[in-house]
Amino acid sequence: MKRLILASASPRRRDLLAEVGLRFEVIPSSVEEEHQDGLSPLEVARTLAGEKAADVASRLTSGIVIGADTIVVLDGEILGKPKDPEDAFQMLRRLSGRSHEVITALVLIEAESGKMMTGQETTRVFFKEMTDREISAYISTGEPMDKAGAYGIQGKGMLLVRRIQGCYTNVVGLPMMKLTEMLSEMGVRIL
């Protein structure tokens, strides 16, 4: 099997790859996740995923680098990782009782040839109506602080989600079906 490199330090992405039995290395990108003005949310995710993959691929002579960027979008606005508990509270208050999109852009780069492939997945997430007490209790767990949109569907945040429309693993941070299809096109078979 070809060498696979995940250009991310995300434990959630590592767990998803490991769960399907992929052998891979982790080489985190040094790209700063800054949202560029004037770009659509999808363009922001694609740009960041591409920059992460290219950064790591530039340091290698072989292997397929997996770059990913996941964003939460409400009313056309990107909700990044909260700066502090008050920021998390405001994000969750805005998400309460509404639906939003989670978009993950994927960029694969074959280091030896420079061949690049891009893809993306969008999932609609429907939140329950939350009280201020519920929001504060969730924030007190610490879980929202390192996650886009201030929640993690794979943890206690699942209690905030009424339903989803689309790919669950996308909301976790890596759309596995889409990634599997892309890797297959690059000659990597998982099943």
In a domain, 190, yes or no: no
Helices within the chain (DSSP H only):
11-19, 41-57, 85-95, 132-140, 168-172, 176-185
Total-model pTM:
0.93
Is-catalytic flag, 132? no
The answer to whether position 167 is within a domain reads yes
Write the single-letter amino acid at 34: E
| CA-based end-to-end distance of the chain | 12
Q: Is residue 137 part of a domain?
A: yes
Residue 127 belongs to domain spanning: 4-185
Q: Which of 15, 55, 69, 84 is catalytic?
A: 69
Longest dimension (CA), the chain: 54
pLDDT in tens, 124-182: 999 999 999 999 999 999 999 999 999 999 999 999 999 999 999 999 999 999 999 99
Structural domain count, the chain? 1
The enclosing domain of 107 has a CATH number of 3.90.950.10
3-state secondary structure (DSSP) of residue 174: coil
Assess if residue 191 is contained within a domain: no
pLDDT for 37 equals: 76
